[in-house]
Amino acid sequence: MIVLENVSKEFRVGEETVHAVRDVSLRLHPSRITAIVGPSGGGKSTLLNVIGRLTEPTSGTVSIQGELITSRSERWAARFRNETFGYVVQDFALIETDTVFENVRIPLVYSARRPRGQRRLVTEALMRFGVGDLVDYPVKNLSGGQRQRVALARAIVNSPKVILADEPTGALDQANGVRVFEHLREIADAGHLVVIVTHDLELAEQCDAIHELRDGRLIASAGDGITVSGKE
Ligand SMILES: Nc1ncnc2c1ncn2[C@@H]1O[C@H](COP(=O)(O)OP(=O)(O)OP(=O)(O)O)[C@@H](O)[C@H]1O
């Protein structure tokens, strides 16, 4: 379980202070898909980045399975990020000039596995999404649907406990969006904790829990196992 307690994140922009996330407390559960929704500029991506330890909050704490992940050294955070999180970003951020193998192995870079072990893990991850045969393809030759699957394989290749997806269906047509969601559901069913940021309320309604952010504040939460403000 991930626990956020009184998390705030501010950015200084010139003389101004932007309060991107204000005093958010919530709990996120494994084997579930949690959606973070709300209007543009509401703080969704910032909150996801705080959860994924890509950004340190200005105040408040985040812990995962009881371990505090805030106020730790950058060196610790880099390793922790790598072992704990799989990230899916909107445009998939694949390296066009590399092969599928080179892209999907990126999260394994810090692992002690030998090249042969890496190839097996990469191929297995691709096979989970039905694209094992693409392992040596150049990314530039892939279709949009193949890119999604490769991006999902990259997110799970090191068996992270947590998958964080920022608008994972945002750039896709409806059929491909549904497929990505089905894959995220399979990932959650396998025991991972999945968090998605989405503008798509229909998609959010299929999730197990929804948190709505507006002007950085958590204004509503719904769903299974919801705990707001740290109260059971
Ligand atoms: N690195 C940054 N520096 C300064 N301000 C930032 C930074 N990142 C986000 N912000 C500001 O914080 C607020 C929340 O932004 P955030 O991207 O988290 O919102 P969002 O809900 O994800 O928006 P969208 O749906 O448009 O992606 C906005 O006012 C944004 O301009």
Which residue's C-alpha comes closest to atom 3 of ligand 1? 11
Q: What is the pLDDT of residue 230?
A: 41
Interface confidence (ipTM) of the complex: 0.97
**What band does 71 get if pLDDT is binned at 50, 70 and 90?**
confident
Between the CA of 175 and the centroid of ligand 1 the distance, in Å, is 29
- Model confidence at 104: pLDDT above 80: yes
- The identity of residue 90, as a single letter, is Q
Query: What's the rounded mean pLDDT across residues 38-62?
Result: 94
- The ligand 1 atom at the shortest distance from the C-alpha of residue 49 is 18
Place of tokens 């958010």: 24
d(CA 182, CA 167) in angstroms, rounded, equals 15
Higher pLDDT, 92 or 80: 80
What is the CATH architecture of 2-223?
A: 3-Layer(aba) Sandwich (3.40)
> pLDDT, tens digit, for every residue of 156-212?
998 899 999 998 887 677 877 888 889 899 999 999 999 999 988 888 999 999 999
Q: 87: which 2 tokens?
A: 């990230």
Query: What's the rounded mean pLDDT across residues 102-127?
Result: 85
d(CA 179, CA 183) in angstroms, rounded, equals 6
d(CA 164, CA 87) in angstroms, rounded, equals 5
> pLDDT, tens digit, for every residue of 28-40?
999 999 999 999 9
Ligand 1 and 20: CB distance under 6 A = yes
Q: 28: which 2 tokens?
A: 């996120």
Q: What is the pLDDT of residue 49?
A: 94
Between the CA of 48 and the centroid of ligand 1 the distance, in Å, is 11
Pocket test for ligand 1, best of 18, 47, 164, 200 (most atoms within 8 A of CB): 18
